A and B are shown apart, each in its own frame.
Chain A
C-alpha cells in the first residue's frame, strides 16, 4: 500500500473509532487490532501487544496506542494523522455538547443513554482484554504474569506501573524466552 493510501486508511478508521469510543479508547482496541493486524497487515500480533504495552507504560492518556499504530503503519505522518483522527471528532462533539449540556443534564433520555451504553461498552472492554491476552500470552509463564497483574490491579491500590516494570525486568533476565 502506498503511504498516501495508508494515511487515508488511518484517517478514516480512527475518525470512525473516535466517535464510537464510548467508555474511552480501551473499548475500541478489538477494532484497532482487527484493522491493523488482520485487515491491513500493518503489524504482527506480537507487534500489537508490544505497542500496546509501550503506550501503557508511557506517561499520558492511554489512547496513545493509536499514535503508535499510526507510527508503525506510516511513520511520523501516520502517527500524527492517527492521533488527530482519534481525538479530533470526539473533541468537536464534546465541545459542542458541553455548551448545551446544562439544558440536558437531568433528562431521562440522557441517563438512559449512559445506562444503556454501559453494558455494551463493558462487553467491548472485555473483548479488548481477550484480544490482548491472546496476543501477549504465548506461554504459561506469561499467562501467570497476566493473571498476577490483573489480581494486583483489581484487588489493591498499588500503582500498576510497578507490575509493568517488574514483568519487563523478568523478561530482560530471560525468564520468558
Chain B
C-alpha cells in the first residue's frame, strides 16, 4: 500500500473509497488486543485525515451511540470523506477480513476443539481472556467512581446485580435504568453549572 506521511498539513490527505478500505483493513489486522489505539495512530498521525481534536470528538460520538465503537468510527470517517460509499468501504475494510479469519478459527474449533491439547490451551486462553474484561471493567469504572461516586456507584451496582446476579434480560434492565440514570446525570450537570 502507499503510505505517504502528510506531516504538517492536516487537510492534505483526501481519502478515496479505496484508500478508506485499505486503511481500515490495515487497522483491523494490526489491532491485536484492541483496535482503537492503532486507529488513532493511523488516522491522526500517519494519514492525517483527522486532527487529534476531531478524533477525540468522533470517538465520543461513536461511544455515545450503540454498536461496536470502532465500526461506528469507520462509518463516520467514511461518511465525512465520501458519503455512503466511504462508509461502506471503510466498514468492509475493517470487518471483512477479521470475520473470515474468525470463521476459519471457528471451523478449526469445531474440528479440533475436542482434542485434549487444544482443549487445554483454550481453557488457559479463556481464563486469561476473562481477566482482560475484568481489567476493562475496572478501567471504565475508575474515572466514574472518582468524579461522581454517589451518582455512578448506585447505577453500576444495580445494573450489575440485575444482569449478573439475578440474570434479568439486559434489554429490560437498560430500558428501566437508562432513563433514570440519564435523568440523574441531567440534574447533576444542571446543579453544577
Contacts and interface: CB of A to CB of B under 8 A. Distances in A.
A60 B177 CA distance: 31
Contacts of A71: 102-103, 106-107, 110
A161 B99 CA distance: 19
Interface in A98-116: 98-99, 101, 105, 108-116
Contacts of B155: 119-120, 123
A36 interface: no
B95 A148 contact: no
Interface residues of B, number: 98
Given A149-B135, A167-B128, A112 B185 contact: yes
A168 to B, nearest CB: 4
B11 interface: no
Contacts of A54: 102, 105-106, 109, 122, 125
26 contacts: A18-B67, A23-B63, A53-B122, A59-B29, A59-B31, A60-B99, A62-B68, A63-B68, A71-B107, A97-B65, A98-B80, A99-B79, A105-B57, A105-B61, A116-B185, A121-B140, A123-B157, A126-B159, A132-B133, A136-B123, A146-B128, A149-B130, A154-B138, A161-B33, A168-B125, A172-B124
Given A59-B29, A60-B98, A127-B163, 10 more contacts: A22-B66, A54-B102, A54-B105, A59-B28, A91-B87, A95-B84, A99-B79, A116-B178, A118-B144, A119-B156
Interface of B: 28-35, 57, 60-72, 75-76, 79-80, 84, 87, 91, 94-95, 97-99, 101-103, 105-107, 109-110, 113, 116-117, 120-141, 144, 151-160, 162-164, 167, 169-171, 173-174, 177-178, 181-186, 188-190
